[in-house]
């Protein structure tokens, strides 16, 4: 009985060893299920997306579809577009069908190790775009930083991402207030920037409403002032017209009086020519103005009569 138990243990251990060897041997590699009904197509690659992210997704799709190495190489070559497609022309015909050779060539062309300087330049020149939100800017800063400094420590990446994020803020006042707040992490800087931007937008809306109210009031006031100004202009015009009319009337009256006085003077001179002096008997003057000495005394009645005649002439 003991020997039978030992034989069973030996046979089980041998079976386990054989099963384990089959599990790790390439000949006994488990095949992927047949998913021909629902094949997944690999996305195209043109070099604009990170190569590391793309190749991870491609390998998962390859495993899901059950592709072998040759099929993977052909599928990868068929998915290349633009600058990535030009890599195929630099490879030999045999290497184009080898998955490892093709991925090595794409890694050298689009891998992070060969593009750190490019991403560092993009990171230094990164500014917030119009319509871009604060969280979107922070996410893109982190994406560029991971490619520009792939070997940096977590603490260094946190510090650099915070500094580059603050520098990317275009509003000078918000940027200065973030610096004054002294955030320790990128998350704190994003939170402060979002609060400041919300406050600024709220104040701008209030200012816009105030300006609208002031504009309406000023328009009404200007309308009233324009009405009052029109009335004042009419009054001034009437006053000016009346003043000019009175001046013109005064001038006309003065002219009439001057003409009248001239006519009266002429008539008096003509009438004086017909006056006879009672002293000397000559024409043109009266006895009171007579240059000759008085010849005789005229009675009072005659004197009074002659004075009345003189008054009528004058």
pLDDT per residue over 217-259, tens digit each?
666 666 666 666 666 777 777 777 677 766 777 777 777 777 6
pLDDT-derived band at 31, boundaries 50, 70, 90:
very low
Q: How many CA atoms lie within 13 A of 74 on its CB side?
A: 5
Q: What is the number of other CB atoms lying within 10 angstroms of the CB of residue 106?
A: 20
Mean pLDDT value of segment 5-27: 45
pLDDT value at position 222?
67
Under 8 Å between Cβ of 169 and 183: no
Residues 6+ apart with CB under 8 A from 23: none
pTM of the predicted model as reported, rounded to 2 decimal places: 0.41
For 255-282, write each residue's pLDDT tens digit. 777 766 665 556 656 666 667 776 777 7
Rg of the Cα trace of the chain? 60
CA angle centred on 305, ends 301 and 309, rounded to 5°: 170
- pLDDT class for 171, splitting at 50, 70, 90? confident
Question: DSSP string spanning 212-239?
Answer: HHHHHHHHHHHHHHHHHHHHHHHHHHHH
Cβ atoms 12, 50 nearer than 8 A: no
Q: Which of 158, 170, 157 is nearest to 126 (CA)?
A: 170
Angular region, 131: left φ>0, alpha ψ -120 to 50, beta rest: left
Give the residue extent of every domain in the chain: 21-114, 127-202, 272-295+309-314
Output the pLDDT for position 203: 84
Which tokens in the block code for residue 149?
């400094």
> What is the distance, to the nearest Å, from the Cα of residue 97 to the centroid of all Cα atoms in its chain?
55
Residue 281, pLDDT score: 72
Q: Which pLDDT does position 274 carry in this prediction?
A: 67
The b-or-e profile of 120-142 (16+ CB within 10 A means b, else e) is eeebeebebeeeeebeebbebbb
More confident residue, 88 or 232: 88
Q: Find the length of the chain.
A: 314
Q: How far apart are CA 178 and CA 189, in angstroms?
A: 7
Residue located via tokens 């062309």: 109
Q: What's the CA gap between 75 and 12, in Å, rounded?
A: 44
- In sequence order, what are the residues at sequence separation of 6 or more whose Cβ sits closer than 8 angstroms to the Cβ of residue 50? 112, 147
The helix/strand/coil state of 44 is coil
pLDDT at 178 over 70: yes
Do residues 109 and 91 make contact, with C-beta atoms less than 8 angstroms apart?
Answer: no
Q: What is the Cα 227 distance to its own chain's centre?
A: 36
Let me know the angle formed at the C-alpha of 23 by 19 and 26, rounded to the nearest 5 degrees. Answer: 130
The answer to whether 183 touches 159, Cβ cutoff 8 Å, is no
pLDDT tens for 283-305 read: 767 767 787 777 665 566 666 66
For 209, what's the count of Cα atoms within 13 Å in the CB-facing half-sphere?
6
């Amino acid at each position: 009985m003991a020997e039978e138990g030992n034989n069973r243990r030996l046979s089980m251990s041998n079976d386990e060893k054989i099963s384990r060897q089959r599990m790790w041997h390439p000949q006994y590699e488990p095949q992927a299920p047949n998913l021909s009904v629902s094949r997944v197509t690999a996305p195209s690659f043109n070099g604009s997306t990170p190569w590391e992210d793309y190749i991870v997704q491609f390998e998962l799709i390859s495993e899901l579809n059950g592709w072998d190495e040759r099929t993977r190489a052909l599928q990868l070559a068929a998915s290349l577009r633009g600058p990535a497609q030009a890599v195929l022309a630099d490879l030999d015909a045999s290497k184009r069908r080898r998955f490892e050779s093709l991925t090595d060539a794409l890694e050298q062309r689009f891998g992070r190790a060969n593009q750190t300087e490019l991403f560092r330049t993009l990171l230094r020149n990164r500014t917030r775009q119009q319509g871009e939100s604060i969280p979107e800017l922070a996410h893109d800063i982190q994406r560029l930083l991971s490619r520009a400094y792939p070997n940096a420590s977590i603490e260094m990446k946190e510090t650099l991402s915070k500094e580059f994020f603050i520098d990317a803020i275009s509003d000078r006042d918000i940027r200065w207030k973030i610096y004054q707040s002294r955030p320790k992490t990128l998350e704190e800087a994003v939170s402060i920037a979002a609060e400041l931007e919300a406050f600024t937008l709220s104040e701008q809306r209030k200012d816009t409403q105030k300006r609208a109210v002031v504009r309406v009031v000023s328009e009404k006031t200007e309308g009233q002032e324009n009405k009052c100004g029109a009335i004042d202009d009419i009054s001034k015009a009437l006053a000016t017209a009346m003043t000019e009319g009175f001046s013109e009337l005064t001038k006309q009256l003065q002219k009439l009086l001057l003409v009248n006085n001239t006519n009266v003077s002429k008539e008096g001179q003509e009438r004086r020519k017909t006056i006879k002096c009672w002293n000397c008997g000559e024409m043109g003057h009266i006895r009171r103005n007579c240059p000759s000495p008085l010849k005789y005394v005229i009675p009072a009645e005659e004197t009074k009569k002659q004075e009345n005649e003189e008054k009528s002439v004058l």
